[in-house]
Chain A
Amino acid sequence: MTQWMAYSVCGLLLFTIGLYGTIAYGHVFRKVLSFNIMGSGIFLFLVSIAGRAPGHPDPVPHAMVLTGIVVTVSATAFALALLRKMNSETGEESLGPGQEYRSGKEGE
């Protein structure tokens, strides 16, 4: 197994770990975190794919990752703002009924 392949397998594993997190947990903050882990996996994958060339890495995936990081930060900020707004309006922090990570406030 070559070096770039080891890194890209790590990236793919991070992506699927993030996917598991987004599906399995109801708390919105956990979903946002998992989404970020998925994104990091994709970035790691793209950067390692760029290293396939012997010697000189491909600059195009690097530029795509750079673009992606900034977009991720802004989308995360928007998701967190939505979460805070939801909490400020309803006191909820989770999506859907029957989740074990509740804010525990609706009983008041």
Chain B
Amino acid sequence: MGISRLHKIFAAVLSGGLALALIASISGLNEGDGLSRQVRASIEESGVKSEVTAVLLNFRGYDTLLEIAVLLLALIGVTALAEGETAPEKADVRDPALSGLAELILPLMVLASGYLLHAGTYAPGGAFQAGAVLAAAILLARLAGIAEPERRKGALAGIAAIGFAVFLSAALAPLLLGARFFDYPGQAAHAIIVVVEGALAISTALILYLLFSECSSIRQWRGRKGEAE
């Protein structure tokens, strides 16, 4: 117990000291507009009207490309951990209230997801928000017993890679035309971003759903081998 208390005191002193140092360091920050002037100056070339989307998919596209790669890597990791585990055969417990609610709001969730995807080019919204809502819709359908747990996970995981594949090809294509990496040609930029956003939304939704379903298929500890539970 003594060691544990010492450990906590150490943690408290460390994080308290760090908090003070960090707060002291931001008091020196002045007002400034960061990079927003540069973003506004070149928003015309980006192909979209929303500044955040322009930064995400054009100006700092490599960030987003690596992000979807990280998502895919996490899915690969979780799938590897769940290897050999079998999802429960029976569908999840059916709850009449839950499935009633799900039937009511599932169409609305799909609609909201489509709207967020569409809005991404000119207003707050975009591929990841749309994908998250869609993933929540798929999960709700699964938990409410409307959709069965999928049998062909490999095919789903393949579709989940579409976002990374489409985005990477969009980033590499300008190289063939003699431009630089991620240097979308001016007129095509809007179309490219819309296509990439669609693919990213599908990928995000499927990856988030698969992360949940793979993670939940790992069983709880059932005692040492040969021992009754």
Contacts and interface: CB of A to CB of B under 8 A. Distances in A.
Nearest to B72: A74
B218 interface: yes
A9 to B, nearest CB: 6
Interface of B: 3-4, 7-8, 10-12, 14-16, 18-19, 22-23, 26-27, 29-36, 39-40, 51-52, 54-56, 60, 63-64, 67, 70-71, 73-75, 77-78, 81-82, 85, 126, 128, 204, 207-208, 211-212, 214-215, 218-224, 227
A56 B36 contact: yes
Nearest to A2: B31
Contacts of A24: 7-8, 11-12
A5 B4 contact: no
A23 B26 contact: no
A62 B74 CA distance: 23
Contact of B36 (A20, A53, A66): A53
B215 A20 contact: no
21 contacts: A23-B10, A58-B36, A58-B39, A63-B52, A63-B63, A66-B56, A67-B67, A70-B128, A74-B74, A74-B207, A75-B70, A77-B212, A81-B214, A84-B215, A87-B220, A91-B223, A100-B4, A103-B221, A105-B223, A108-B223, A108-B224
A64 B59 CA distance: 12
The 4 closest A-B pairs by CB, nearest first: A53-B33, A74-B74, A58-B34, A23-B11
A12 B36 contact: no
Contacts of A78: 74, 77-78, 211
A59 B55 CA distance: 7
A82 B15 CA distance: 26
A80 B70 contact: no
A2 B3 CA distance: 42
A63 B50 CA distance: 11
A17 to B, nearest CB: 7
B205 to A, nearest CB: 12
A56 B37 CA distance: 9
A95 interface: no
Given A53-B34, A66-B52, A108 B227 contact: yes
Contact of B15 (A16, A49, A60, A67): A16
Given A74-B75, A81-B78, A62 B52 contact: yes
B204 A59 contact: no
Contacts of B220: 84, 87-88
